[in-house]
Structure 1
């Protein structure tokens, strides 16, 4: 009898795994991950956690990571952190939380089609923005400038600090004690200087090796999500118009197709139908191109994935179209004068908070005060980065407005 585990075209049944073992005889991880491709990340083969823990009784290790992320304080705060529009500007615009959920949905769809670990890709997707400052990229740029003489500030590294150190949920350790593979996926960018300090986690940035397929999927899903929801939010806000978008082939071709299929469609329905089609095109192209790359390089293990060039990618044609959309958004949305005005206010708030706390650390909550002067700037950065948009504005008023308590 042929072994179905070696044939990706055949569905696996309970008797097909572990030499014919039944589901009852297998661990949760073995059962749930039995149908994965050989190059996928398996939780049973994880490089482990920083602090050893007993195996979970009814979950895989990556499911436990995902659950810890969802229950974390930093994840809840994403509801009130800016994507492009500051929270008070409207209830219907994306926040870091809704963005993270959209990334996870896209990433899981891709992972399922490629037969890789959906739980890991979801955990990475949900955690990738945990370290973002209030006020989006404007807040990050301002905090990085404030921290220039103290090692700088980068939201990827801050996300890692959140899950490694800053969350306070467990008696046995600081942080969430996530698996190596989840932490690796969170660390999307890293300078060589920081990579050297991170040991095994930063090694790939020094050697040119790749992260897991799951981390690569989460990375591309992030871009698919924000490009498309920023178009949607830009149109909803009135900062973009459908007429402007006519210069973007990826938009216009799908908009025209939607109007051909539904001649009477207009307004928000036309926008949603177009964005839906664009996302579908990007996902299908990503799966097809990645499958071609997998066939070309034929990885038979996660180590082979790490040694190969990036495998998760769009075709040249679709990548070029997506790049045009990205440049359009940069010129017309992210540099729109109304967005720039809010970004200027955001920088003023972040810099004002940092300067006030640096001048007198006694203004900080006790947990962020340090007798070690060298550590104080980083603690201030942790405090500010953890703020929501509205909390940062409230703290600013408390410090600088006389009649505010």
Structure 2
């Protein structure tokens, strides 16, 4: 028996009936031989961690654009926090930790520079249907590995595609919008648990808000510190979720869910839409819009830049040119976009 087979057997012995067994994955787009050491979901996790898009997240905005302070979250640190919450919850529920981790690590690979303002910019200048979750799936299916994609399992791809909530419900009522694995659903919850906590902490650190402004309900129910809030949320979903009519239903108590909803609204009103954050996002939208227009009319320069990002294969993959430009813009980090903008549009000093 191989190490992988031994691990798959251990999963059968200890995992919940509602968990997704590695040995019963629906497989990959392109069939592959099974490995001797790693299960299919462990392999997916590693492929995500080693890809270029994962490394670029360290210089992509979470809330605050290109923060100079070392303590502020980036898209990468957000992803790591989501991953840890998802693993903790999945472990406590006897679900597949490796699957939950792989989905969490890959869920934001397609996020644009400058956070959601970058996403909004591409909605306006490329297509209203542009969405970072769909771009994340595009990254793992088409853009990474020199155009061959990462060839991830169906379960991980489904979780990546269906993680996004926008300002909607944590768990959608439409079954077609809900991840079909419990692990994918756990990541949807872990995502909001992570950003409610760290965005609040970063907003206080940056003085966009002060701690005294946080609604009293949120402090009384969730806790005053990041560890307290995270623990409250994780414990609540672990103990409130249960099997109903043969299906495992993720749930939260009314008290904690209401406190999270209040905190979410507070952050939207006082942080994400605050003057300080919004003014910077307007500048970010301008940068991406002008870069998009420039590269629409300069294919040779685009090819040069794509080579620097190790994405030159995109120029020959048969995609519409405008779609290629969109992929390029979405792949940029904040600092890459700002440096490129300065190089293209700022006058050169006379030596």
Do Structure 1 and Structure 2 share a fold, with TM-score over 0.5? Answer: yes
Q: Deviations over 1:263-318 (max 9, x none)?
A: xxxxxxxx6xx221111111111011112xx1x3333xxxxx6xxxxx22212221
Q: Secondary structure at the match of 2:211?
A: coil
Matching residue of 2:151: 177
Q: Secondary structure at the match of 1:356?
A: helix
- Aligned with residue 263 of structure 2, among 322, 325, 339: 325
Matching residue of 1:377: 322
Cα separation, partners in 2 of 1:39 and 1:371, compared to 1, 3 Å: closer
Contact 2:218–2:259, Cα closer than 8 Å, also in 1: yes
Q: Deviations over 1:208-238 (max 9, x none)?
A: 7652100000010000000000111011111
Matching residue of 2:16: 37
Cα separation, partners in 2 of 1:100 and 1:360, compared to 1, 3 Å: same
- State the Cα distance separating 1:25 from its structure 2 match: 11
Matching residue of 2:129: 152
Contact 1:33–1:117, Cα closer than 8 Å, also in 2: no
Matching residue of 2:286: 348
- State the Cα distance separating 1:34 from its structure 2 match: 3.1
Matching residue of 1:244: 213
Asked if 1:163 is matched to 2:148, the reply is no
Contact 2:178–2:185, Cα closer than 8 Å, also in 1: no
Question: Following the alignment from structure 1 to structure 2, what is the Cα–Cα distance between the partners of residues 327 and 190?
Answer: 17
Q: Secondary structure at the match of 1:243?
A: helix
The correspondence of residues 3-402 of structure 1 with structure 2, limited to 5 A, is: 26-148=5-127, 152-168=129-145, 174-188=148-162, 210-245=179-214, 247-253=215-221, 274-291=225-242, 294=243, 296-299=244-247, 311-365=249-303, 367=312, 368-369=314-315, 375-402=320-347
Question: Following the alignment from structure 1 to structure 2, what is the Cα–Cα distance between the partners of residues 43 and 25?
Answer: 10
Unaligned runs of 5+ in 1: 1-21, 192-203, 256-270, 300-304, 306-310
The CA RMSD over aligned residues, in Å, is 2.5
Question: Following the alignment from structure 2 to structure 1, what is the Cα–Cα distance between the partners of residues 10 and 60?
Answer: 38
Cα separation, partners in 2 of 1:131 and 1:354, compared to 1, 3 Å: same
Cα separation, partners in 2 of 1:184 and 1:26, compared to 1, 3 Å: closer
Cα separation, partners in 2 of 1:298 and 1:345, compared to 1, 3 Å: same
Matching residue of 1:3: none
Cα separation, partners in 2 of 1:175 and 1:248, compared to 1, 3 Å: farther
Contact 1:190–1:205, Cα closer than 8 Å, also in 2: no
Contact 1:145–1:152, Cα closer than 8 Å, also in 2: no
Cα separation, partners in 2 of 1:161 and 1:254, compared to 1, 3 Å: closer
Unaligned runs of 5+ in 2: 166-172, 305-311
TM-score by length of 2: 0.88
TM-score by length of 1: 0.77
Cα separation, partners in 2 of 1:26 and 1:81, compared to 1, 3 Å: closer
Point out the structure with max Rg over C-alpha: 1
- State the Cα distance separating 1:253 from its structure 2 match: 4.9
Cα separation, partners in 2 of 1:189 and 1:222, compared to 1, 3 Å: closer
Contact 1:100–1:125, Cα closer than 8 Å, also in 2: yes
Cα separation, partners in 2 of 1:223 and 1:189, compared to 1, 3 Å: closer
Cα separation, partners in 2 of 1:242 and 1:26, compared to 1, 3 Å: closer
- State the Cα distance separating 1:394 from its structure 2 match: 1.0
Contact 1:55–1:61, Cα closer than 8 Å, also in 2: yes
- State the Cα distance separating 1:174 from its structure 2 match: 0.7
